[in-house]
A and B are shown apart, each in its own frame.
Chain A
Amino acid sequence: MQPEQVDRLREAADAGVSFDGLDVERGDDGYRFAVPGDERTGLDADGFRAAAADAAGYVTNWCFWNETAPSYDARRSFLRWLESADERAVPDRYESLTDGVVRHWGELELTATLGDDGHRTYDLRHETDGGRPVADLDAFEDPLEARELVTYDEKGRYRPLKTAPTLRTGWVFPGLSARELTETVGHVYPATVENWHREREGDLDVSHWRETAERQTGIYDIVDELDREAVERIAATCCVDSQCLKRREWEYDEGTEVDVDGGDGEFPCREPCSLVVAAARKWTTLEREETHTYEFELTPSEKEQVEEIIDTVADGRTDDVREADVYEGANRYRARYLREKLFGDEGNLAGVPTED
């Protein structure tokens, strides 16, 4: 603790300070300085300094939250959540913070560590890299660099949905300030902190499917044609935890829930995202088609193979099927053989033309 920190607290006592268990004020008979279990009154400047010295953690904690931490309420409550500030008293919290307090946010692992004079530093990395020495990872300082890091997945493919569970590993922001931490989280998972905060305040402005669909114009104007069953399928397709780490809070409409599980994510999804709306447009046009009865001849294994191929693509496992693993239906050789056998010259399944 620096002497100036105590001076600043003493100056603030004129207006009164009441923060995280620390109570300081100035009365006619001198200062009052109180922390849980230790209340001193009628203090002069020296007495105030002595009291502060015995409760240094409370003083530096006040300095950090009052002077260093961001003022924006969403970011503040996020940082306080990180160190369980509303649940744990300062001495207890400081003890854990000395070793580093770990929290998870989507795929991120965030560690808050106490430095000198109440300063906190933050480490942000992929949870898979938890516990790895910084020297083994690519280290970054500037929050803006996170934008590039989250643009591509491990295989170098573009990630159009920032909350898809496909963040690359192998990097770390080891020494962020409070401000930089919230900024970096904002680049990795935009607006999640703000919406999480609104939800905690009971103020999350959810826009359900129907409302969102009816708002659309232009080429997306048609998505409100989709019925409730189709919306169920969309939620099961796009919004489950294996595809998106937001917890879906939007329903079909105010009074009609979507039965599919919304997920366990820390942060909420308040309305169907642009990716879902764009995909819904395609599904709307597809759902306009009538069914036809086709007749195909398939062996039982061929039918199962078709099912396996669909499963493998839907679960994003095509790259996991080994080149020579011909026991897997979605193996490339197996699929090529099936195509040779079943497709006619026109590329039609079992030679049966597609009817319009």
Chain B
Amino acid sequence: MQALVIVAHGSHLNPDSSTPTYRHADTVRETGAFDEVVTGFWKEEPHFREVLRTVESDEVYVVPLFISEGYFTEEVIPRELRVDDDVGLDDPDPGWEPRRGAPEDVDKSVHYCGPVGTHDAMSDVIVQRAESVTGDTDVGDGFGLTVVGHGTERNENSAKAIEYHADRIRERGRFDEVKALFMDEDPEVDDVTDFFESDDVVVVPLFIADGYHTQEDIPEDMGLTDDYRKGWETPGEVDGHHIWYSGAVGTEDLMADVVLERAAEAGADVGDAIETVRELTGGVRPPADD
């Protein structure tokens, strides 16, 4: 038997934090590719410490629903799953190889997969998020796109992931302009309109779940609203530009595809589940030369 365990941050304060994790787990569950699909959290239950014992399977694929390699994927999750000696890494440079571990508390084989955020398929999810927020499956022409994240101060690797996906999407030439912007360093999302000539700009934050960064800080920083509690228009007018603000990319249904890709890469037998999920979630295929 093989199980998929999706691990995510979760929250003690925000009930919506775990919603995307549950939804993507449900999508994968529907494909039947795994005998069991469960979720585990840092701040919710089951905790990372106890999630492995909730599955019966011997082969367990653990996919971190995190944006980048770093403190959580290299230190916290391996330690809490009790596989740190096997899979912890000292040098969290992007370039992920799946790793195997034998946890101390349960008799199982853990296949520790890369985080979703740095997988190539994440670029497709960002594009799909742009389609969702504009309601246009051909969006691109006449549009700018920005991928937004924390700056390097918070997490150096998350900034790298943001630039990586922005570069990839730019190379495809689908959008007129593509930029990576940050919350606490230059180029800053506060000045979003300064960076674009296009009238229409899609803003996609590279976050797993909606929370105060994506639902309060970023909309206010961009000038989309002066008070997040009042909400904002989509598109909203800022300095003569139409800002299409999408909210966290992690809430896009196609994220389930990236989860599967990560598990497959680590050796999970997922059959045709990747295709099924792309169909279920309206996933875009990357261009042939990508």
A binds B: yes
Interface residue? B288 (CB, 8 A): no
Q: Is the CB of A152 within 8 A of B15?
A: yes
Interface residue? A205 (CB, 8 A): yes
List CB contacts (< 8 Å) of B40-69 with chain A. 42-47, 49-51, 53-54, 56
- Is chain A's interface secondary structure helix, strand, loop, or mixed overall? loop
- Number of A interface residues, CB 8 Å? 30
Q: Contact partner of A191 among B22, B43, B51, CB < 8 A?
A: B51
Expressed in whole angstroms, the minimum distance between the Cβ of A155 and any Cβ of chain B is 13
- Closest residue of chain A to B47 (Cβ to Cβ) is A274
Q: Is the CB of B22 within 8 A of A158?
A: no
Q: Contact partner of A194 among B15, B22, B53, CB < 8 A?
A: B53
Q: Is the CB of B26 within 8 A of A144?
A: yes
Q: Contact partner of B54 among A144, A190, A271, CB < 8 A?
A: A190
Expressed in whole angstroms, the minimum distance between the Cβ of A51 and any Cβ of chain B is 35
CB contacts (< 8 Å) of A275 on chain B: these are 12, 43
Q: Is the CB of A278 within 8 A of B50?
A: no
Contact with B along A252-279 (1 / 0, CB 8 A): 0000000000000000001101110010
Q: Is the CB of A158 within 8 A of B47?
A: no
Interface hit among B71-79, B91-99, B226-234: B71-79
Known contacts A152-B15, A217-B76, A218-B71; is-contact A274 B43 (Cβ 8 Å): yes
Instruction: From A71, A158, A191, name the one whose CB has the most chain B CB atoms within 10 angstroms.
Output: A191
Q: Is the CB of A71 within 8 A of B56?
A: yes
Q: Is the CB of B13 within 8 A of A215?
A: no
CB contacts (< 8 Å) of A218 on chain B: these are 71, 76
A158 to B14, CA, bound (A): 8
CB contacts (< 8 Å) of A158 on chain B: these are 13-15
Q: Is the CB of A72 within 8 A of B56?
A: yes
A133 to B43, CA, bound (A): 37
Interface residue? B279 (CB, 8 A): no
Interface residue? A151 (CB, 8 A): yes
A191 to B106, CA, bound (A): 13
Interface residue? A21 (CB, 8 A): no
A144 to B22, CA, bound (A): 9
Known contacts A162-B45, A273-B47; is-contact A205 B12 (Cβ 8 Å): no
Minimum-distance CB pairs A-B, first 7: A190-B46, A72-B56, A191-B50, A160-B12, A190-B45, A158-B15, A191-B46
Can you report 9 A-B residue pairs in the complex whose CB atoms are below 8 A from each other? A158-B15, A190-B50, A191-B51, A194-B54, A195-B50, A218-B71, A218-B76, A275-B12, A278-B12
Query: Can you name 6 extra interface pairs (CB under 8 A) apart from A190-B45, A191-B45?
Result: A147-B22, A158-B15, A160-B11, A186-B54, A194-B54, A198-B53
